């Protein structure tokens, strides 16, 4: 099927250019905040976060009285990103030169690494690199004051959680409370994919935030011009022949001529056959026939008729540590596109894995976290002279009425669609929204500024920070909410979605916001979503925003008008075009069987519409109606009657007492 998202970039080269100190655009932006004690850097894969940390850490070590730097990464392979790096010859005042003895991202028992970690604290050495696991284990019984005047840098910060049993989150909280340590947190996305915040609001407020978005990164590339995001739905097993087709869904989307990372399903997912090694075999079978495997490197050579060449394939699903270390060592040393063609992985080759030649990230099975999707897409979005287009494809199982897991399959499909909608917004240029006043000069506004009547601007720094740095993560939370998934395909009135459901979710995420702050954040979420899901067109010298159902003159936009538009209408349109009528009916039946609960706010909001309906048709809305909106109005009448009955009942009780 065609891509759901297709974005083209200008190839300005800006994000790759360096300043007089050898810093790229994102690194320069991060370095400006080098004096902050707590720093959160949110930037996409390949933007240069590792080197940004080097610049900041060296500045703190040499000029701000910091004595040591501890860097924690989620996987050993990512530790290589922080190895010795020449910086001085590009303009910086010194090089990054860690002692290899204290690079603990190497093979060996965890116990010896913890011993080395504790030993490091009592030496004159400056830099230690370890895994999150080593950091967690080293803190058992450690006095946090030992970290005074130390930087603790946590890569892939979304692994932290404010939940009580998240050990990494507990370690971080204790460091902040009981030491003078500096914290540098780095991540491509702040969204975990569950309902647990990364940090509690009071702790998060202590961080200075530096945000560099995906659009800035990709628009400033030299070679990569476009990115496509597509979803391919299949029935049965992805590696078996599809109905009415001569091949499997896997063979249909796996192009052996493209440098590809294939992520097979998690063994806990519905898409998995539970036999991961067999699934590796199915991927290889879709590519061609095995010729031989190189004993020294672990590379599998596969003859492909489709590509008319012998492919070099890496298997990272292998359970044997020696075999896996062999192939990962080979991958770390690749220098050209010809060195590897296909990588097959399960949990690896996501975060921090650097293969700039990768053109296609093919993921089988739904991924529950936006962060994981961003990380996987990031494997293909490195800028490299061997490609002008990068592609992300997700193979997702269609729900089957005969399958007991139909509820899971429906939710997975809806979440896959919403993830693509969110990525479209993440990858799009950002707009600035301002309040429109008739007496205000707008001549200095740029093309990215849109003025809206009735628009509420944030007044507190807290609300401003959320809007400036957390909007995409908040949208991710909204789009993955169970009630929102049921509402999205036209089952709730747009005003109810925008003014009742969305603020309810924002309140859950940010319970500390007052009503004015909440409304400012809500309006930004809705307006940004509506605008980015629309297209801009110019007619007769005037600009219009084209939504699903109408053209809106950009000079006449009012927040009340925006609130009447479903910001996620595109989800239903995508579903309608992507699946069969039978599957669409199955999805609808499932949603209707798990009705959205009515709230008093929604019922009151629907009341004027009910009166207008009665005035127009002469009848009350029908509870058995096929139209979801009419049915919802009928449910609101029942809800309001019951509310009135209870109110009268309570008044009578009060009178009798």
- What's the 3-state SS for 325-359? HHHHHHHHCCCCHHHCCEEEECCCCCCCCCCCCCC
**315-329, 570-584, 589-603 — most confident range:** 315-329
Give the pLDDT band (50/70/90) at residue 591.
low
Q: pTM here?
A: 0.77
State the Rg of the chain over Cα: 27
Residue 225 scores a pLDDT above 90 = yes
**pLDDT value at residue 6:** 80
More confident residue, 101 or 581: 101
Please give the average per-residue pLDDT across 585-604, as a whole number: 72
Give the pLDDT band (50/70/90) at residue 332.
confident
Q: How many CB atoms are located within 10 Å of the residue 290 CB?
A: 14
Helices (H), 25-87: 25-31, 49-63
Specify whether the CB–CB gap between 365 and 265 falls below 8 A. Answer: yes
223-397 matches 5-217 in CATH topology: yes
Contacts of 311 (CB under 8 A, 6+ apart): 256, 287, 288, 301, 302, 303, 304, 341, 342
Q: Cα separation of 583 and 399, whole Å? A: 7
> By C-alpha distance, which of 96, 69, 93 is closest to 80?
96
3-state helix, strand, coil split of the chain in percent (to 5) is 45, 15, 40
Among the listed ranges 209-223, 261-275, 369-383, 572-586, which one has the minimum average pLDDT value? 572-586
**62-66, 271-275, 449-453, 593-597 — most confident range:** 62-66
Residue by residue, DSSP assigns 389-453 as: EEEEEEEEEPP-TTSTTHHHHHHHHHHHHHHHHHHHHHTSPP-EEEE--TTS--TT--TTEEEEB
Residue 414 scores a pLDDT above 80 = no
Residue 595 scores a pLDDT above 80 = no
**pLDDT value at residue 41:** 92
Q: How many CB atoms are located within 10 Å of the residue 212 CB?
A: 22
Give the sign of the dihedral formed by CA 343, CA 348, CA 350, CA 353.
Answer: negative
Tell me 302's DSSP state: E
CATH says 5-217 is which class? Answer: alpha beta
Q: Cα 2 to chain center, whole Å? A: 22
Residue 654 scores a pLDDT above 90 = no
Residue spans per domain, the chain: 5-217, 223-397, 426-591, 598-657
Element (H, E) at 649: helix 628-656
Specify whether the CB–CB gap between 546 and 553 falls below 8 A. Answer: no
Tell me 107's DSSP state: S
Specify whether the CB–CB gap between 399 and 583 falls below 8 A. Answer: yes
Provide the greatest CA pair distance for the chain.
90
User: Strand 5-8 relative to strand 226-234: parallel, antiparallel, unpaired?
Assistant: antiparallel
Long-range contacts (CB closer than 8 Å, 24 or more residues apart) made by 22-28: 22/87, 22/90, 22/91, 22/92, 23/51, 23/52, 23/55, 23/92, 24/48, 24/51, 25/212, 25/216, 25/220, 26/52, 26/212, 26/216, 26/217, 27/51, 27/52, 27/55
% of the chain exceeding 70 in pLDDT: 89
Contacts of 608 (CB under 8 A, 6+ apart): none
**pLDDT value at residue 60:** 98
Residue 270 scores a pLDDT above 80 = no
Topology of domain 223-397 in CATH is: Rossmann fold (3.40.50)
**28-32, 480-484, 599-603 — most confident range:** 28-32
């Amino acid at each position: 099927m065609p891509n759901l998202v297709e974005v083209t970039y200008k190839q300005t080269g800006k994000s790759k250019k360096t300043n007089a100190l050898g810093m790229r655009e994102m690194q320069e932006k991060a370095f400006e905040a080098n004096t902050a004690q707590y720093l959160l850097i949110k930037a996409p894969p390949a933007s240069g976060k590792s080197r940004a940390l080097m610049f900041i850490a060296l500045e703190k070590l040499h000029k701000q009285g910091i004595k040591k730097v501890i860097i924690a990464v989620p996987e050993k392979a990512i530790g290589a990103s922080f190895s010795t790096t020449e910086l001085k010859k590009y303009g910086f005042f010194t090089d990054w030169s860690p002692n290899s003895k204290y690079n603990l991202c190497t093979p060996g028992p965890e116990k010896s690494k913890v011993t080395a970690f504790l030993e490091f604290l009592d030496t004159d050495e400056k830099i230690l690199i370890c895994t999150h696991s080593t950091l967690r284990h080293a803190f058992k019984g450690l006095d946090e004051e030992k970290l005074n005047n130390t930087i603790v840098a946590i890569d892939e910060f979304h692994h932290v959680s404010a939940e009580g049993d998240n050990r990494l989150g507990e370690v971080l909280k204790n460091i902040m409370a009981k030491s003078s340590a500096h914290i540098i947190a780095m991540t491509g996305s702040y969204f975990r994919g569950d309902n647990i915040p990364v940090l509690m609001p009071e702790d998060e407020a202590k961080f200075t935030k530096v945000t560099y978005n995906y659009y800035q990164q990709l628009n400033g590339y030299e070679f990569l011009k476009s990115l496509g995001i597509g979803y391919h739905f299949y029935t049965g097993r992805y590696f078996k022949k599809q109905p009415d087709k001569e091949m499997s869904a896997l063979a249909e989307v796996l192009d052996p001529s493209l440098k590809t990372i294939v992520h097979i399903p998690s063994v806990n997912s519905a898409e998995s056959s539970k036999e991961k090694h067999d699934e590796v075999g199915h991927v290889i079978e879709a590519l061609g026939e095995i010729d031989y495997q190189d004993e020294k490197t672990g590379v599998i050579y596969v003859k492909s008729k489709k590509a008319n060449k012998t492919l070099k394939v890496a298997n990272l699903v292998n359970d044997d540590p020696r075999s896996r270390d062999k192939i990962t060592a080979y991958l770390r040393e690749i220098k050209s596109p010809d060195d590897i063609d296909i990588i097959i992985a399960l949990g690896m080759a996501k975060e921090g894995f650097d293969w700039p030649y990768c053109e296609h990230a093919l993921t089988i099975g739904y991924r529950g976290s936006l962060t994981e999707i961003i990380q996987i897409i990031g494997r293909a979005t490195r800028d490299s002279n061997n490609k002008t287009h990068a592609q992300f494809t997700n193979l997702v199982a269609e729900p089957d009425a005969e399958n007991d897991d139909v509820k899971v399959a429906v939710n997975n499909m809806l979440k896959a669609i919403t993830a693509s909608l969110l990525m479209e917004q993440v990858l799009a240029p950002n707009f600035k929204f301002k309040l429109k006043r008739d007496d205000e000069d707008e001549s200095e506004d740029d093309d990215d500024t849109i003025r809206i009547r009735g628009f509420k601007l944030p007044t507190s720094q807290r609300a401003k920070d959320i809007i400036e740095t957390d909007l995409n993560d908040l949208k991710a939370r909204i789009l993955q909410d169970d009630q929102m998934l049921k509402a999205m395909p036209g089952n709730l009135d747009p005003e109810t979605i925008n003014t009742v459901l969305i603020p309810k979710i924002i309140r859950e995420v940010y319970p500390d916001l007052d009503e004015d702050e909440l409304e400012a954040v809500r309006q930004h979420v809705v307006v940004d979503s509506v605008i980015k899901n629309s297209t801009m067109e110019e007619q007769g010298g005037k600009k219009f925003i084209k939504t699903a159902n109408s053209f809106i003159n950009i000079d006449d936009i009012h927040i009340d008008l925006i609130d009447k538009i479903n910001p996620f209408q595109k989800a239903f349109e995508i579903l309608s075009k992507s699946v069969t009528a039978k599957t669409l009916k199955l999805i609808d039946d499932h949603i209707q069987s798990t009705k959205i609960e009515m709230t008093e706010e929604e019922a009151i909001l629907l009341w004027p519409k009910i009166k207008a309906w009665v005035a127009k048709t002469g009848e009350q809305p029908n509870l058995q109606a096929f139209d979801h909106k009419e049915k919802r109005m009928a449910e609101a009448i029942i809800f309001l009657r019951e509310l009135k009955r209870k109110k009268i009942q309570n008044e009578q009780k009060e009178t009798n007492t």
